[in-house]
Amino acid sequence: MRTHVKALVVGGGAVGASIAYHLARAGWDCTLLERDELTSGSTWHAAGLLPLFNMGYATSHIHDYSVKFYKQLEAETGLNAGFYVVGNLRMAQTRARMDEYMLYASTAETVGIPYEWMTPAQIKERWPLVRTEDLEGAIYHPTDGYINPADVTQAMAKGARQHGAEVMRRVQVDGYHWTGSAWIVSCTRMVERGGNLVPSEDSFEITAEHVVTATGNHAQRTARLLGIKIPAIPVEHQYIVTEPDPALRDYRAAGNPEHPVLRDADAKWYVREERGGWILGPYERNAPARFLYDVPESFRADLFPLDLERIEEEYMSMIHRLPSSETVGLKDDYNGPICYTPDGNPLVGPAPGLRNMWLAEGFSFGITAAGGTGYYLAQMMTEGEAEIDMASLDPKRYGDWMTTEYAARKNEEAYEHVYILHHPDEERAACRPLRTAPSYDRMKARGAQFGQVNGWERPNYFGPLDAPDSFDHDAQLPPRRLVAICGR
């Protein structure tokens, strides 16, 4: 066991394994600590989707790197990462949704992500099980698909070891102390008693010049140990697995390839094939935040009870889109914690106010982001900056003004908004107003339409005096917003 390292990575999910791999590949002496087994947090129950579609520049680069990186892991490590390159078909029921896809396409072109436009007739011709008469069209990514989360994590961990990293399981971090030149990290070995993982009497310290936390569901405990605020709180995410679909089996038996990952954004779900049946993953309303303060010691690789009533609308819309699925039963279900942040973007970069402490927390699409996060964060740590602009993921965007209740409610909102129609400069309503200036009421009475920055309400522009509460949302399309701004 190493007691002095250049970099210590805390957390053995997909993100932590990738960071350890890329730091070790860059030549840094590195150790990875995991309090249980690798993948035992949210990684093990993730659906493993690898969507390239993203509205943000940094996250698009991160996802693009991940997809390319995972495809080469087997050649390097000898472990099959379980990558199925089936593509991704993102369907649109409205013209407005197609406009959103066109806006996204400009980001894809900037990053170099390939895509194709498809009409309803082309979709039906290629995938006849999909109902298309109510679609406007779709955008199709031929190069992404899905992956086995446990396999890709183990492959990255093996790659990290091959580059000289040490991986230690069942070690819990209990404290961080900065000496002025290094971090002294207090650790305890964990043991299993009665099915629970509990601290043993075996404690030790590791001295590290740099520390990276990738603690997933345990981010609130990490925040307390560091004396900072981290708005990464998990939200329940359900997905169900159906029994085999006879129509799908017949389609595949005829020599047809596997369906792409299907996404009906207006219906708020993704669907992919799974052993002759389907996996449905909805992003429904009223999914609750969990573990606001800590993860119970009895919660390991566990799940929550399924709430089928909460996803009934999305389930029925899947049957509408894939009529053959109506007669198949449910084989399995998953309802587990997936970390979120108030804006849906992870926290990647230096911890505010702490030297040589780095955060990689709050990943709602952790499998997709893991590879790229390790690559670009390793660049920030070893070279002083990344080759892309990572400002949109900077942990400093949340400060001491943020409360636990604010983070939990905003994270629930971010989950629910995964598939909403996104516009430039969108403002979300949950937990607002939080902080207001003395002139807030006077500005509002004069038609101010507010945005939020660091918790503060500030006017984005002034609309009509008698504008309804929905005015800003309804004016989000750029031409209408221009009229709203210039009309007074």
| pLDDT above 60 for 147 | yes
Quickly state the pLDDT bin for 92 (edges 50, 70, 90).
very high
Residue 178 and residue 279 in one domain: yes
Residue 37 and residue 172 in one domain: yes
- State the pLDDT at residue 479: 41
Q: How many domains, the chain?
A: 2
- Quote the percentage of the chain above a pLDDT of 90: 85
Tokens of 148: 């086995």
> At 441, which helix (H) or strand (E)?
helix 440-445
Residue 292 and residue 146 in one domain: yes
Nearest to 162 by CA among 8, 17, 66, 25: 25
Quickly state the pLDDT bin for 481 (edges 50, 70, 90).
very low
Instruction: Report yes or no on 412 lying in a domain.
Output: no
Residue 387 and residue 455 in one domain: no
**CA 53 – CA 472 distance, rounded (Å):** 26
| pLDDT above 90 for 290 | yes
- State the pLDDT at residue 195: 82
Each residue of 185-234: pLDDT tens digit? Answer: 999 999 999 888 999 999 999 999 999 999 999 999 999 999 999 999 99
Instruction: Name the residue range of residue 185's domain.
Output: 4-391
- State the pLDDT at residue 191: 95
- Average predicted confidence (pLDDT) for the chain: 93
Residue at a domain's end among 336, 369, 391:
391
- Quote the percentage of the chain above a pLDDT of 70: 97
- State the pLDDT at residue 43: 86
Instruction: Report yes or no on 474 lying in a domain.
Output: yes
Q: How far, in whole angstroms, is CA 260 from its chain's centroid?
A: 20
* Average pLDDT over every residue of 116-123: 98
Residue 308 and residue 457 in one domain: no
Residue that has been written with the tokens 């507010």 in this structure = 450
**CA 217 – CA 170 distance, rounded (Å):** 16
Per the model's pLDDT, the better-predicted residue between 308 and 423 turns out to be: 308
As beta bridge partners, residue 449 has 461
Phi-psi map region of 168: left, alpha, beta (phi>0 left; psi -120 to 50 alpha) = beta
Residue 349 and residue 229 in one domain: yes
- State the pLDDT at residue 339: 96
Q: Do 152 and 14 touch, CB atoms closer than 8 A?
A: yes
Instruction: Report yes or no on 416 lying in a domain.
Output: no
Residue that has been written with the tokens 């961080």 in this structure = 176
Q: What is the CATH number of the domain that holds 317?
A: 3.50.50.60
Q: In angstroms, what CA-CA distances link 135 with 25, 94, 267, 307?
A: 46, 7, 12, 29
Residue 370 and residue 447 in one domain: no
Q: Do 199 and 35 touch, CB atoms closer than 8 A?
A: no
Quickly state the pLDDT bin for 476 (edges 50, 70, 90).
low
Residue 128 and residue 241 in one domain: yes
- State the pLDDT at residue 134: 97
- State the pLDDT at residue 385: 97
**CA 109 – CA 59 distance, rounded (Å):** 14
Residue at a domain's end among 376, 391, 406:
391
| pLDDT above 60 for 488 | no
> At 407, which helix (H) or strand (E)?
helix 404-416
Each residue of 6-58: pLDDT tens digit? Answer: 999 999 999 999 999 999 999 999 999 999 999 988 888 888 999 988 888 99
Each residue of 327-374: pLDDT tens digit? Answer: 999 999 999 999 999 999 999 999 999 999 999 999 999 999 999 999
